[in-house]
Each structure stands twice: as C-alpha cells, then as structure tokens.
Amino acid sequence: MTTAPHNPGTDLPGRPPVVDLATWQTAREKLLVREKAHTHEGDAIAAARRRLPMVELDGKVEVVGPDGPVPFLDLFQGRDELVVYKHMWYDGAPHQGQCEGCTTTAWHLKDAVYLNARGVSLAIVTTGRWDEVASFVEFMGYTQPWYSVRDVAAPVGEDMGHLTCFLRDGDRVFLTYSTTGRGNETVSGSMTLLDMTPYGRGEAWEDNPEGRPSVDHQACWYWRSDAQGNPTWGPTGRPVPQWTRPGATPVETLGRNGHHH
C-alpha cells in the first residue's frame, strides 16, 4: 500500500506534519548534513582549544576540603590533567537556595570514572565556608571531591560558575581553558537529549514551531527557591528535580510554590 508523502488531514495542531517514512528519511538526511557540519566545526574548535596558550599559577595555594587545608596540586590526585567546576555559593542560604544552574551541573558530574581512565581528575570548588559546603554536599549525595576556595585568588578562586581546565607538569600547574554560561552545558547530557526531542527543553528562549502546545512539566522543572527559601519561578530557569529526589528531604520543606504534596 502506498501513501501520499503528506496528508494534511492527519496532521496534529502545533506538531510537525505527518508524513510517510520515506519522506521523513529524506528530511532527516537533509538535516544530517547540517549536523555533520556542526560536528566538524566542533572538532576544529576543540583542536584550537588544545592549542591555546596557558598561564602558570602557584600550585601550592591552599584550598579547604574534608581533611582541612591542602595545596591545589592535591586536586590532581597524581594525574596530569584536572577539570574543575566552580560552583556559585550563597552564604547562609538553605540547601535549596543555592544556584539552580550550578546544582544541575554538579548533579551531572557525580561520576568521573571515564575522566579518570583518561588521566583526568575532577573537582568542584566554591567560595562557601567549608562547614556549609560539607553539609550541602552530604545533603545532595555528591560523590566528587569538593573544596572551599574562599578568599583564594583567581584562577583557582573567584569567577564562580565556570568550567576550568588545568595541566600539571611535576609540581608546576597551568591554567589552560575556562568557559561559562551555556559553555557549561557540555557536562549536562540531559540538555543534549532534550534538544533531540520534539518539544525540546521547554525553555522560553527556544525557537519552536508556531502553535506548539506548551509542555506542562512537573512543578520542579522550573521551580527553585530564593536564598531565603521562598518559592520562585522563571521560564528560563534550569531544572532542579534533584531537590525532590526520594529520601533527600520532605518535598514540602522545599517551598513548592506554597503547595504541599
């Protein structure tokens, strides 16, 4: 049985047109050309990134972790390369009042086994006082090494919300790369997968087809609280479902728009 490539009578309002498989395959292959060009450009950018100059810094500068002050050099754990995520911090805030973007990034970085296998260590640093940081890390169930860089100068401290790469040569330490904003999305695989779906991320800035129905995500998708624990909403906020994960804390303590579930 043959079908017409496109029968408008089968279309769904606000969704892509309904076609047969052959027509879909043709459209898919057309998009694939652009995807391959995007991949190749990404490869070229990565090659340029590997050729950036680097800045030497004092690897003996002290940061504070679970064992007290340690030299920054210890974060390499004997490996030659180190990726550091700089987590924003609000002093005195409840756990759910910390930055939603940073907590999402850290959530996606819980396991560094594949980085370690390639000779790369991972650590998270933040400007919070260690006692507050330790409590937050325990609450979130994070397994990666965390350190406080309070009052530590850049590039180890300061400029939170960044992904930063370092290289070690013996006792010498070098800054090689740093990114922020949407550059941090590289570690959040959920974002990339959502970009593949027909409804995307569900964020206000996305370019969607006219008439696309709004996606009614769970409240926790956009929800977070401010530093005082008051519920707040934002159409471009990052998802923070980890706040309501089983066993963490009663959902009602997190101020879900004033409603208890």
The residues spanned by each domain of the chain are: 55-185
Between 208 and 46, residue with greater pLDDT: 46
pLDDT in tens, 47-95: 999 999 999 999 999 999 999 999 999 999 999 999 999 999 999 887 8
Q: What is the pTM of this model?
A: 0.84
Contacts of 130-133 with CB under 8 Å at 24 or more apart are 130/64, 130/65, 132/89, 132/91, 132/92, 133/89
Residue 244 has pLDDT above 70, yes or no: no
The pLDDT of residue 53 is 98
The pLDDT of residue 247 is 56
Residues 6+ apart with CB under 8 A from 212: 14, 15, 199
The pLDDT of residue 211 is 84
State the pLDDT confidence band at 246, using cuts at 50, 70 and 90: low
For the residues 93-106, what does the mean pLDDT come to? 83
Contacts of 204-213 with CB under 8 Å at 24 or more apart are 204/235, 204/236, 205/236, 209/14, 209/15, 209/16, 210/14, 211/13, 211/14, 212/14, 212/15, 213/13, 213/14
Between 220 and 142, residue with greater pLDDT: 142
Specify whether the CB–CB gap between 126 and 87 falls below 8 A. Answer: yes
For the residues 222-247, what does the mean pLDDT come to? 56
Which neighbouring-strand residues pair with 69? 64
Residue 184 has pLDDT above 80, yes or no: yes
The pLDDT of residue 239 is 55
The pLDDT of residue 252 is 43
Tell me what the pLDDT averaged over the chain comes to.
Answer: 84
CATH code, residues 55-185: 3.40.30.10
